[in-house]
Amino acid sequence: MERVLITGGSRGIGKAIARKFKEEGYEVITPSRQELNLSDMSSIEDYVLAQKYQQPFDVIINNAGCNDIHLVEDITDEELLGMINVNLVAPIRLLRGLIGPMKKQKYGRIVNIASIWAVVSKAGRCVYSATKNGLHGVTNTLAVELAEYNILVNTVCPGFTLTELTRKNNTAEEIAQISKDIPLGRMAEPEEIAKVVYFLASKENTYLTGQKIVVDGGFSEK
């Protein structure tokens, strides 16, 4: 059975990705924050060490992320370093620790979840956009570095997505207002992001690597 590691699988887009892989018959590993705290470098090292005696992952989805929205002059050092660590440093450390066995088995798929704010931007997203653009830089390099091992690496950039958090942070009127700016006239369901991630990470994908796939209902085209 193929094994997939999904970070941030407790809710939102990560939960939908986990559900999709389960439906497709994968062994799905979604560590809780207690098992793998991406803000804590020693937690990442411990997690990587514990994988040494396990079957290698066939698929790694770097999905967990955080987004503190502030104008540049209001960003605290804690928020700056927190976002850089979770959104950028942690995926690199995780891949650094887990890529060896994937290379040995000469098969792997990696999907990094960035954001529409790595395609266009908006006030208040300085650090978030920087980290998500940085994450796509990881995709660019690893696509080249790992191609000879039959490991394909891509970035998915979700647009506005109707997760529990989006519903909590926005009223129905606000969601309707944002939807007016989206050519398809609505936000994405998490499942619509999950099926694109699944394709990129499946055996069906044999030639697509190093790409930024934007799933935003046409938002960034306006």
- Give catalytic residues, as residue numbers: 128
Looking at beta carbons only, is 150 or 170 nearer to ligand NAP? 170
Q: Are 211 and 115 in contact (CB under 8 A)?
A: no
- Separation between Cα atoms, residue 117 and residue 81, nearest integer Å: 18
Q: How far is the CB of 213 from ligand NAP (least distance, A)?
A: 12
Residue the block writes with tokens 């704010």: 117
Q: How far is the CB of 140 from ligand NAP (least distance, A)?
A: 18
Q: How far is the CB of 14 from ligand NAP (least distance, A)?
A: 5
CA dihedral angle for residue 186, residue 67, residue 146, residue 97, rounded to 10 degrees: -140
* 33 is a contact residue toward ligand NAP (CB under 6 A): yes
Of residues 61, 67, 152, 196, which one binds ligand NAP by CB under 6 A?
67
- Long-range contacts made by residues 43-50, C-beta under 8 angstroms, separation at least 24? 44/90, 44/93, 44/94, 44/97, 45/93, 45/97, 47/94, 47/97, 48/93, 48/94, 48/97, 48/98, 49/97
Q: How far is the CB of 54 from ligand NAP (least distance, A)?
A: 19
Other CB atoms within a 10 A radius of the CB of residue 36 amount to 22
* 66 is a contact residue toward ligand NAP (CB under 6 A): yes
108: β partners: 151
Residues 99-158 that bind ligand NAP (CB under 6 A): 113, 115-116, 158
Of residues 18, 28, 44, 86, which one binds ligand NAP by CB under 6 A?
86
110-131 exposure pattern, b = at least 16 Cβ within 10 A, e = fewer = bbbbbbbbbbbbeebbbbbbbb
Looking at beta carbons only, is 109 or 125 nearer to ligand NAP? 125
Of 33-41, 168-176, 177-185, 204-212, the window that binds ligand NAP (rule: CB under 6 A) is: 33-41
**Residues binding ligand NAP: number (CB under 6 A):** 25
Chain residues that interact with ligand NAP, rule: CB under 6 A: 8, 10-14, 33, 37-39, 63-67, 86, 113, 115-116, 158, 160-161, 163, 165-166
